[in-house]
Amino acid sequence: MQKTLLSLVAITLLCSAETTEIEQLKTRVDTLEKALKTQKDQALDEKIKNAMGSIGSFTQTDSLPDIAFIANMSALGRNVDNEAYAGYQIPGFTTQPSKQPFNPKRGFNLNYGELEIQSTVDPYFDVTSALHIEKDGLHIGELYVMTRALPYGLRLKTGKFRSEFGRINSHHQHTWNFSNIPLVFESFFGAGGLADEGIQLHYTAPTDTFIQAGFEAMQGSNSRSFGDTDKNTLSIGYLKSSVDITDMTSLLAGASWLHGKSNEGDSDIYGGDLTLKHIFDSYSSLTWQSELLYRDKETTDINQKQAGLYSELTYAHDKNWATGVRYDTLFKNIDNQPDDLNRYTAMLEYRPFVFSKIRLQYTNDRSKWIGGERKDTHEIMLDLTIAAGAHGAHAF
């Protein structure tokens, strides 16, 4: 009996202890809930206050395209006065003096400012443009739209663009190792190279060996080799392939073909290019790049068969210093015209940082006829190129 009584007392005591504990917990939960609610209310108040000044809905600054500004200028000395130089000809290749886009004068030259605008348009297209700001106005260097979602490694490009014909042609002046275009390209396409309105179909093969091929249909407005632009008259095909000989040595080779119409008849140009690049470390490399072009141009009386090549060797010593030499020659010409039109170029380049370069270039040019005779031209130039803003990386 006593035992039962004792246990009853014990149970009652325990229960009351539990009840107090539960009540305490309840109070704590209530306090926490209240605190949480206050916090939420405060956050909402804050949100409402901030929303009063909200202007974000119509700003699109996050979707701005990448904009870069590239500029090139030089100081130049030459043993030919400016007026005489402006009228030079390359016998058998050019009959009219033509505009020199880069470094025409002795003294100071502001060659161009280039506004490069690039953006992804939507899931299906990218757009790229290079607008040249020159002293006589704004020129569209390139403006093209490219697909980004075609299957099977295919890509379409349309607008105005630099042709993938050969190796150097698709590269912009600011990426060249020397300040002027190779002589053979100047002779066949003019000092600006081959850039035209048209469409390009480009294919990359899914193979261990790099293989790219493409076809371009263009207007053919380049009057050096074509010029009949009543409809699109220029067709271009190219094939590029590359292998890594070792982990540090790559070989890139390409073959290109082009068929166009001029007012006098058809033109065919065949191109072959070879680039061998060896890297010593992250910043030092040796590059040997050569291209050979052969032109078969129909005229009213005979077919003109002409050819030329350039070969350049450049050595990058470190992040800052590079040097190089280039040999240019037009070695096949039409009858009664010289076939020893040569040019020799050497350069030393200093890059304070990746976005600027200062180049000292010496040129001995034996390809130009001035006043009806060959003029042995010597030229020394200090050239500055900068790329500011959102400028994309360069290809191989």
Partner 1 sequence: MKKILLITLLFSSTLFAKLNVATTYNYLAKITEAIGGDKVKVTCLANPKLDPHFVTPKPSLIGKLRREDLLIINGGQLEIGWLPPLLKSANNAKINVGQPGFLDVSGVIEMMDKPHIVSRAYGGVHPDGNPHFALDIYSVIPIAKLITLKLSIIDGANSATYRANLKVFEEKIEKLTQTLKTQMQSCPNRKVVQYHELFNYTIKSYNIESKGTIEPLPGITPSSKHTMKLINIMKTEGIKTILQDAYHEHKTAGFIADKTGAKVSIVPHDVGSIDGTDTLEDFYTMVAKRLCP
Binding site for partner 1 (CB under 8 A): 120, 123, 126, 146, 148-151, 153-155, 202-212, 240, 242-244, 247, 250, 252, 277, 279, 281-283, 285, 318-320, 353-355, 388, 392-396
d(CA 396, CA 394): 7
CA dihedral 191, 194, 196, 200 (to 10 degrees): -160
Tell the smallest beta-carbon distance from residue 292 to partner 1 (Å): 20
Rounded to whole angstroms, how far apart are CA atoms 62 and 119? 12
Smallest gap from Cβ 368 to partner 1, in A, equals 35
Closest to partner 1 by CB, 2 or 60: 60
Cβ 257 vs Cβ 234: under 8 Å:
no
Closer to partner 1 at the Cβ: 137 or 151? Answer: 151
To partner 1, the closest distance from the beta carbon of 252 in angstroms equals 6
Residue 35 to residues 27, 29, 316, 360, Cα–Cα distance (Å) = 12, 10, 67, 72
Tokens of 185: 């390209």
Q: Choose between 204 and 323: whose C-beta lies nearer to partner 1.
A: 204
Kindly tell me the burial class for residue 62, based on how many C-beta atoms sit within 10 Å of its own C-beta (0-12, 13-18, 19 or more): exposed
Least distance to partner 1, CB of residue 180, Å: 24
Q: How far is the CB of 148 from partner 1 (least distance, A)?
A: 6
Quote the least distance from Cβ 118 to partner 1, whole Å.
10
Q: Give 31's contacts (C-beta < 8 A, 6+ positions apart).
A: none
With left for phi above 0 and alpha for psi between -120 and 50, is residue 389 left, alpha or beta?
Answer: left
Ordered DSSP codes for 155-189: EEEEEEEE--SSSSTTS-GGG-SSSS--HHHHHHH
* Nearer of residues 54 and 61 to partner 1, judged by Cβ: 61
Query: Whose Cβ is closer to partner 1: residue 10's or residue 245's?
Result: 245
Best CA proximity match to 375, nearest among 334, 328, 343, 335: 343
Residues 6+ apart with CB under 8 A from 365: 343, 344, 376, 377, 378, 379
| Residue closest to 314 by CA, chosen among 299, 326, 297 | 326
Q: Which is nearer to partner 1, 167 or 343 (CB)?
A: 167
Counted residue by residue, the chain has a size of: 396
Q: Residue 110's closest CA among 162, 64, 75?
A: 75
Q: How far is the CB of 320 from partner 1 (least distance, A)?
A: 6
118/235 with CB nearer partner 1? 118
Report the nearest approach of partner 1 to the CB of residue 250 (Å): 5
Q: Which is nearer to partner 1, 158 or 232 (CB)?
A: 158
Q: Which is nearer to partner 1, 107 or 153 (CB)?
A: 153
Nearest approach in angstroms of CB 303 to partner 1 is: 35
